[in-house]
Amino acid sequence: MRDGESAAPSSTGSSRRRDRDASVDWRAGLRNARRSIGLSQRQLSERAGVSIDAIRAWEAGRRNPLRAHLARVLEELDLDQLEHNRILEGAGFAADAHRSAPPPQRRVMRLPDAREEIVRYRWPAFVVNDLVEIVAVNDVARFLWGFDPDDATLSRAERHPMAHATHPRLTERVVNWEEAAAQQIAAWKGHYRRLERLDAPSPAFAPVVERILAGDPVYVRRFTQLWEAIPAGKPDAYRFAYDIVWREPGYGTMRFQCFAWVVNEIDGIDIDDWIPVDVSSWEVLERIRADLPRIG
C-alpha cells in the first residue's frame, strides 16, 4: 500500500449505507471516465504517474486514494468540472474551484436549477458543462438541435455542438456557418483549460475532432482552413456572445444574438441563450413553439 493511502473501510449496517453508496459511485465514475476515453488501467497509470496497483485497488473498492494521487488521475481523464468534483467529493475530498482560476463570483445555480431555469424561456436555451457538452435543453432547443442530451445512447462527442459543425444538421441550417464556426474555433483555441489543437487534441476534445473530420468533406476542408486562420480567443470570460442565423426547414429564418454565461464556477456550468433579434425571427420561433406539442 502506498504511503498515506488507506484500506477502504468494511462498512456494515444500514447506518453506513449512504457512505458506501457514495464510495461505489465515485469508483464507478472513475472507471467509466477512464473507459470513455479508451484508456486501460495501465495507460492511465503511466500518464498520471500513479501505480497501476493503486488504480486497480481504487476501482475495486479495496483502497482509498491520497488526494494528490487522485487529482493527477483526474487531470489525465480531462473530465468536465461537475464530474471531476463528483469523484473528488465521493472520495471524501473538497471540490476543486473552477480551473480557469478567476475570483469566485456570486453564481450558485446547480445543474437541477439550471434545467428548471431554461424551461421557462420562450427562446432556445441549453446548459453546457465546462467541456461545452450540452447537458440540458429546453423544448425549442431540443427541436433545433435534433437530439436530447438525456438520451443515454449519445456519446460525449455527440453532445458537443462543435462536433456537429461539418454534419448536415448544422451545415444545412446555419446560414452564417463560417462566422459561427470561426467564433467557436477562437474559443477553443483559447480555452482556459487547454489551448486546443486539431493535430494534438486533449483526451476530451479528441472524439470531437474525430467526429468533425468524419463530416462532409467540403465542410471539413473549410473547417480546417478556418482553424489554421483564426487566432485564439481570450479565455476566462464569464459572458461570451456569438451570432447565429438559423434557417429551419418548413418555418423560415431566425436571427439570434446568443449569450453564454457562467452560472456556477465550481461545477463549471454555463447557460446559452439564443435571443431572437427581430420581429420576423420571433414570429418564426412562435410558429415552431406552437407546433411543438404535435412534432415533439
Helical H segments across 41-127, by residue range: 41-48, 52-60, 67-77, 81-90, 111-119
Q: Is the dihedral of CA 104, 109, 112, 117 positive or negative?
A: negative
List of long-range contacts for 135-143, beta carbons under 8 Å, 24+ apart: 135/111, 135/159, 135/269, 136/111, 139/289, 139/292, 140/285, 140/288, 140/289, 140/292, 141/274, 143/288, 143/292, 143/295, 143/296
Q: Output 192 or 26, whichever has higher pLDDT.
A: 26
Residue 143 pLDDT class (50, 70, 90 cuts):
very high
Q: Whole-angstrom Cα distance, residue 254 to residue 296? A: 20
Architecture of domain 111-295: 2-Layer Sandwich (3.30)
The reported pLDDT for the residue numbered 15 is 45
| Averaged confidence pLDDT in the chain | 86
The reported pLDDT for the residue numbered 296 is 61
Please compute the mean of the pLDDT values over residues 243-254 and round it to a whole number: 97
Q: Output 242 or 6, whichever has higher pLDDT.
A: 242
Residue 39 pLDDT class (50, 70, 90 cuts):
confident
Please compute the mean of the pLDDT values over residues 35-56 and round it to a whole number: 89
pTM greater than 0.75: no
Please compute the mean of the pLDDT values over residues 5-12 and round it to a whole number: 57
The reported pLDDT for the residue numbered 6 is 59
Residue 18 pLDDT class (50, 70, 90 cuts):
very low
The reported pLDDT for the residue numbered 219 is 97
Quote the CATH superfamily of domain 6-90.
lambda repressor-like DNA-binding domains (1.10.260.40)
Q: Output 231 or 6, whichever has higher pLDDT.
A: 231
Is the pLDDT reported for residue 51 higher than 70?
Answer: yes
Is the pLDDT reported for residue 190 higher than 50?
Answer: yes
Give the phi and the psi of residue 266 in degrees, each rounded to 5.
-65, -45
Q: Where are the domains of the chain?
A: 6-90, 111-295
Matching fold, domains 6-90 and 111-295: no
Q: Output 201 or 190, whichever has higher pLDDT.
A: 201
The three-class DSSP label of residue 107 is coil
Is the pLDDT reported for residue 20 higher than 60?
Answer: no
The reported pLDDT for the residue numbered 68 is 86
Please compute the mean of the pLDDT values over residues 114-141 and round it to a whole number: 94
Q: Which tens digits make up the pLDDT trace of 250-277?
A: 999 999 999 998 888 888 889 999 999 9
The reported pLDDT for the residue numbered 238 is 65
